[in-house]
Structure 1
Amino acid sequence: MVGINEETTARWWATAAVGAGVIALCYGFARYAYGLFVPRFGETFGLTTVGVGVLGGLSTAGYGVGLLLSLRTATRSARGTVLLAGALAAAGLGLMAAAPNVAVFGAGIVLAGGSAGLVSPGVAQLIGETVGTRHRVRAQTWANTGTGLGLAASAFTPLLAFGWSSIWAGFAVLAAAMTVLAWRTLPRPPAAAEIFAPVHGLVPLVVNSVLIGATSAPYWTFSSSRLTATGLSPTAATWCWFTIGVAGLLGGLAGRAAERVGLRTANLVTWTLAAAGLALLALPRPGLPGALVSSALFGSTYMALTGLCILWAARLFPTRPARGVTWSFVGLGVGQTAASPLAGAAASGIGLAAVFGLAALVALAAWSQLDARLAPPASGPGG
């Protein structure tokens, strides 16, 4: 990387904050808020359970296409990729809000999902190109917490008195405003020479990401059902979703932790806390306190683990972090896509409590990183 501007580096916090804002819109609203409004969508479009699943699959498909596109776009124009992500989020949300039928609604879901696939590699690449090594680690992990911010901001929107289409139109306006703010404030990277170097150690990163996806999928998909089954009210479950988002902001501390104790140690400690959060939902009756603690542990560790993956990717690809981030998030998506139906099938046989117990045990498989061949690099130019 050449020519990083000192003035731009001094404003690393602004780049991280705006990046977090775009990520919040693309993930918290464009990708994940769909699940909060499924009952209303079902009433409007007459959706069956299968239809709900198909629409959710369209979001995942859009996300995957966005990730694949980011392999090219993020390294060519990181700033442009972030702006494209924001524009797709606004367009997708707006199309969903105005949809006269389920086909148009599905097209909006694809666009909205694509925004999430583009945004993380774009933000990671932009920070890698514009923020010096002194602040880069913190900038990457704080920007990544935008997902938690978006989850917290969207948590209570289903309780609003407005119709869902009005709420979705508001989401679209917010996404458009955030995109304009990003266009006006995000720095333009300096020209840099392309450096192509052989990369070793990508497989352990992808395996770690698949593990994150596989262990988080039961929580994203079934935690509300599990909490309701233990006697908690829907309002309490909403508070737990909000807690996931707020606690996710703590994931930004992962960068400082990695600087202090090393990436592998920070990763292993975070994985252990994640296992504890999953195990709490395996208890017969965790109650509201246990549910809130579980939500806090899940939100903070999920954001921390994905943030640490970004740092891991930046060490493998110091000049092109978007490439490593893309492969990491592909692994994350594969893990989630495979684990969700498996968890559902297992739940019908052994129950959700046992599913969460198994997920906690699987999370402890991360301790295999004590083997140096499976561990993240100890250091690297990328942070």
Structure 2
Amino acid sequence: MDERVRGRWWLTAATGAGVIALCYGFARYAYGLFVPRFSETFGLTTVAVGVLGGLSTAGYGIGLLVSARTAMRAARGTVLGSAALAALGLGLMALPAGVAVFGAGLVLAGAGAGLVSPGVAQLIGETTGSRVRTRAQTWANTGTGLGLAASAFTPLLAFGWPAIWSVFAALGVAMTAIAWWTLPRPGAGSLPAPEALHGLAPLLVNSVLIGITSAPYWTFSSSRLTEAGLGPVATTWCWFTIGAAGLLGGLAGRAAERFGLRAANLGAWTLAAGGTALLGLPDPGVAGALVSSALFGATYMALTGLCIVWAARLFPARPARGVVWSFAGLGAGQTVASPLAGAAATGIGLAAVFGLTGLAALLAWSQLRPRLAPPPPADAGRGGSPDQTGSSRCPAGSAG
């Protein structure tokens, strides 16, 4: 790989963040913001709304599974394909062609979101230098926050949702073109030999815990804020704050380089616990709600970004493989936790659910045990790496 290409890591990370913003902020998460308008247009029942949301999740799962193979064979093509699928899905959703076409668009848009993170992680792994790779991965991952912030106020616009979705689709086409021109082309080479799954279990546990503790926030934070007396505008500002503060999650890469991956991860987990527990207060108020939103957004992006770094240490030649496992665990945790949180809320109330979720996040401190901690960097035995744990575990990648 040309050293000039490796030196332009910031451009690869920024473009990757833009594609992630498209695929997650617009193609995946914006659906929830417009559910009342969709229900009015199509005459949807609550069950139908859930079915459509399930189609998006199904598309995401399909994309994630497909990316496990495509990202390692053609990382750049996978990223471009994710952007194109997101744009196509958004375009289909904007058409006045009925709920069936709308649902097909949701599947395609969800598939784009499933493809994008493994593709971006693999491309960064192949085209950036080792000294900046951690920062590049975590900054690219903050694209989700950028997309959330950009879409937060769109439900308040006077335009009809088809017009807004048409703009989303146009932005998708533009982002696909930008990615085509700016993303680097990895050098040709043979597909690396498969790596062992040694050390994967702690990453999966960490990812599932992220899913379990984030699901109540994604699903019920707006309801909790309304219950606490906040109006629609204040709730929208909180959603925007989640996205805007999410951009700070990119700093997790620098923290991991300076203090070690385990210390950075545990620091993010502690702040996440505090941010979630704030919504467990009887009356958080506007200030408490905004602080909670900022902490949740920043730590969610930090924790998912650090999962990508963790995955890349386990599978240095195939970071996409580790990302697929990690994000599948995260999705599984969210899938299980959302209905459980809803059921618990009927018995003990949403405030108690958020308080207990904050306590559950502190289970991450079990990573003080070396067997549950992230692996040290590959050069931990040769320098004074802050990731050294004093254990006899092998450096990442040596178990294969």
What TM-score do you get using the length of structure 2 for normalisation? 0.94
More helix by share: 1
Distance in structure 2 (CA, Å) of the matches to 1:376 and 1:340 = 27
Give the deviation of 1:100 after TM superposition.
1.7
Name the counterpart of 1:260.
Answer: 258
The answer to whether the 8 A contact 1:310-1:325 is kept is: yes
Deviation string for 1:70-89 (max 9, x for gaps)? 01100010000000000000
Deviation string for 1:315-369 (max 9, x for gaps)? 0000110000010000010001111111111111111001101111110110111
Distance in structure 1 (CA, Å) of the matches to 2:72 and 2:376 = 25
Q: Which residues of 2 match residues 332-347 of structure 1 at below 5 A?
A: 332-347=330-345
Q: Does 1:17 align with 2:9?
A: no
Q: Does 1:184 align with 2:181?
A: yes
Distance in structure 1 (CA, Å) of the matches to 2:229 and 2:83 = 39
Q: Does 1:321 align with 2:319?
A: yes
Unaligned runs of 5+ in 1: none
Quickly say closer, same or farther: Cα 1:99–1:337, change in 2 above 3 A: farther
Aligned-partner residue type, residue 228 of structure 2: T
Unaligned runs of 5+ in 2: 380-395
Residue 302 of structure 1, aligned match among 300, 310, 313: 300
Q: Does 1:65 align with 2:100?
A: no
Give the deviation of 1:289 after TM superposition.
0.3
Name the counterpart of 1:240.
Answer: 238
Name the counterpart of 1:219.
Answer: 217
Q: Which residues of 2 match residues 97-246 of structure 1 at below 5 A?
A: 97-193=94-190, 194-246=192-244
Distance in structure 1 (CA, Å) of the matches to 2:188 and 2:291 = 46
Name the counterpart of 1:366.
Answer: 364
Give the deviation of 1:196 after TM superposition.
2.7
The answer to whether the 8 A contact 1:96-1:105 is kept is: yes
Give the deviation of 1:104 after TM superposition.
1.1
The answer to whether the 8 A contact 1:316-1:380 is kept is: no
Q: Does 1:284 align with 2:320?
A: no
Name the counterpart of 2:38.
Answer: 41
Name the counterpart of 2:52.
Answer: 55
Give the deviation of 1:195 after TM superposition.
3.0
Deviation string for 1:3-45 (max 9, x for gaps)? x321111111000000000000000000000000000000000
Aligned-partner residue type, residue 178 of structure 1: M
The answer to whether the 8 A contact 1:318-1:380 is kept is: no
Give the deviation of 1:99 after TM superposition.
4.2
Secondary structure of the structure 1 residue equivalent to 2:237: helix
Deviation string for 1:201-229 (max 9, x for gaps)? 10110110000011000000000000010
Identity %: 77
Aligned-partner residue type, residue 378 of structure 2: G
Aligned-partner residue type, residue 277 of structure 2: A
Deviation string for 1:101-127 (max 9, x for gaps)? 111111110111111100000000000
Give the deviation of 1:270 after TM superposition.
0.6
Secondary structure of the structure 2 residue equivalent to 1:134: coil
Name the counterpart of 1:74.
Answer: 71
Distance in structure 2 (CA, Å) of the matches to 1:22 and 1:197 = 28
Deviation string for 1:154-194 (max 9, x for gaps)? 00001111100000000000011100110111000012341
Distance in structure 2 (CA, Å) of the matches to 1:233 and 1:44 = 24
Aligned-partner residue type, residue 22 of structure 1: V
Aligned-partner residue type, residue 276 of structure 1: G
The answer to whether the 8 A contact 1:156-1:242 is kept is: yes
Secondary structure of the structure 2 residue equivalent to 1:166: helix
Distance in structure 2 (CA, Å) of the matches to 1:378 and 1:87 = 37
Residue 349 of structure 2, aligned match among 346, 351, 376: 351
Aligned length: 380
The answer to whether the 8 A contact 1:90-1:173 is kept is: yes
What TM-score do you get using the length of structure 1 for normalisation? 0.98
Aligned-partner residue type, residue 197 of structure 1: E
Give the deviation of 1:197 after TM superposition.
3.0
Give the deviation of 1:378 after TM superposition.
1.5
